[in-house]
Amino acid sequence: MQQELRLQWLFGALQGVAATAAAVVLLWAMLPAVYPPDAPAASDAALVLPGREFAAVVAARAAAEGDSMVVQAMQPAERGEQQIGEAVWRLEQPGLSADDLAQLRLELEGVQPGQEVVLFWRSALAPEQLHYAELGHGPAGVSWLNLGQLDTWQGQLLELAVGVFGEPGPEPLRLRELDFGGYNRYDAAQRVFAEWRRFQPWQQSSANWYAGVPGAALIRPAAAAGLWAAVALVLVLGWHLWRRGPRGTLVVAGLWALLIPWLALDYLWQVQLERQLQETRAQFGALSQAEKHERAIDADLQRYALHLQQILQPLRHQRLFLLHEANQGHNFTRLRLQFRLLPLNIYNYGNTLVAPEHLRPSDLVLLLKPVAGVRYDPARGLLDDGAQQVAATLLDTHPLGSLYRIAEPGHAQ
């Protein structure tokens, strides 16, 4: 009996592995189904622009090396209060028709997490208009972009440029080539795996929803793993119905057909997790708690919240109405500031004043910039949102917002 069970487990495992392997072959045949609509074949449009054809127009130090154009040092620049670096490669009059180029494969080495990679272009249809599209940076410095899905990607190209913006990294930026082409199975598979392995730092919404790939990906890994498992299970069931094998073998084969795609999906997640841990360690490792707060993404909001708490300490039992231009959805700035101001009694919604009948004297109103629809008239001491006026006193002004105290509910205009 034990020998029979062992054989069932062994044959079931072999059938499950064989089914998942056969499913890969079938998925390879089905790969054109994920191509963008009306995508041309690779043979219809193929062009390679070596990096040496581009001029490094924004860089502190750059030089051509073989077929590449290398930026050894980025140009210092400012973004608000942050010091960043910039590097831009430009090619004038490339002699290309955007209508014939469906997909871009960019080889750009040395890009660091946190840096932005942007494609710029001008076309003869609107020579004065500069268009752009952001690219992600994937493993081995390769990134992809669906050009045919961009409304502004059309006409004869007058100028083409690639830019990198962000905190400079330790490695030089090496522009190797821009490869324009259509779609075939090999390129599609290469792109899919590059998109799956591409590192995306966690955002503030990652705790609730994590896609694992950029929004323009050909197919998401979870969908691919589910389809892989489904095809493998169909093959297992079909083999069992044809051969009339033992039920135990069917169960074991079905479990393997589910386990292998799940392990592959989990491997992708673990790779992303390990890279995120490395980035977190590099950003916050060996720092004190105060230093960690200073390097956090909401460091400016933390400082502003501490500033407001010092002002509001004597008024902590009053209601605070927080207004912000983003009156819908989960806006990071307004929600993060509300969190930093807890346990104050905060009403965090809307971008206009609350109706006068719902206001009380001594209520507080915080206009978290930007709030374009609310104005304060210091001469008359009135907050005005265009529909109503409320008497108020300015308590504090700051680059991030203004704090007011309601004196007496007003009236509708």
Q: Are residues 309 and 368 in the same domain?
A: yes
In a domain, residue 370? The reply is: yes
**CA separation for the pair 196, 185 (Å, rounded):** 16
**Domain of residue 136, residue span:** 47-182
Q: Render pLDDT for 32-44 as a digit per residue (tens, 0 to 9).
A: 777 665 555 554 5
**What are the C-alpha distances in Å from 112 to residues 20, 28, 201?**
36, 32, 11
Phi and psi, residue 203, nearest 5°: -100, 175
CA dihedral 66, 69, 70, 76 (to 10 degrees): 160
In a domain, residue 366? The reply is: yes
User: Which residues fall within 8 angstroms of residue 408, CB to CB, at 6 or more apart?
Assistant: 361, 391
Q: Are residues 275 and 350 in the same domain?
A: no
In a domain, residue 290? The reply is: no
Which CATH number covers residue 165? Answer: 2.60.120
Residue 384's DSSP bridge partners are 375, 389
Q: Render pLDDT for 167-204 as a digit per residue (tens, 0 to 9).
A: 888 889 999 999 887 777 877 787 788 788 877 777 76
In a domain, residue 205? The reply is: no
* Residue 73, amino acid: A
Q: Are residues 378 and 335 in the same domain?
A: yes
Q: Is the pLDDT assigned to residue 53 strictly greater than 80?
A: yes
**Across all residues in the chain, what is the average pLDDT?**
84
Q: In the Cβ-directed half-sphere of 74, how many Cα atoms lie within 13 Å?
A: 25
Identify the weakest region by mean pLDDT among 8-12, 263-267, 295-299, 344-348. Answer: 8-12
In a domain, residue 289? The reply is: no
pTM across the whole model: 0.65
> Does 370 sit behind a cis peptide bond, omega within 30 degrees of 0 on the bond before it?
yes
- Kindly state the average pLDDT of the residues 283-307: 85
In a domain, residue 337? The reply is: yes
Q: Is the pLDDT assigned to residue 113 strictly greater than 80?
A: no
In a domain, residue 339? The reply is: yes
Q: Render pLDDT for 333-361 as a digit per residue (tens, 0 to 9).
A: 888 888 888 888 888 878 888 887 788 88
Give the pLDDT band of residue 412 (cuts 50, 70, 90): very low
Q: Are residues 254 and 157 in the same domain?
A: no
User: Which residues fall within 8 angstroms of residue 134, CB to CB, at 6 or more apart?
Assistant: 116, 117, 118, 119
Q: Is the pLDDT assigned to residue 395 strictly greater than 60?
A: yes
Q: What is residue 234's predicted lDDT score, i.e. its pLDDT?
A: 94
Q: Are residues 171 and 57 in the same domain?
A: yes
DSSP letter (8 states) at residue 316? T
Least Cα distance to 98 among 33, 36, 160, 56 occurs for: 160
Count of domains for the chain: 3
Strands (E), 93-251: 103-109, 116-123, 126-135, 142-146, 157-166, 173-181
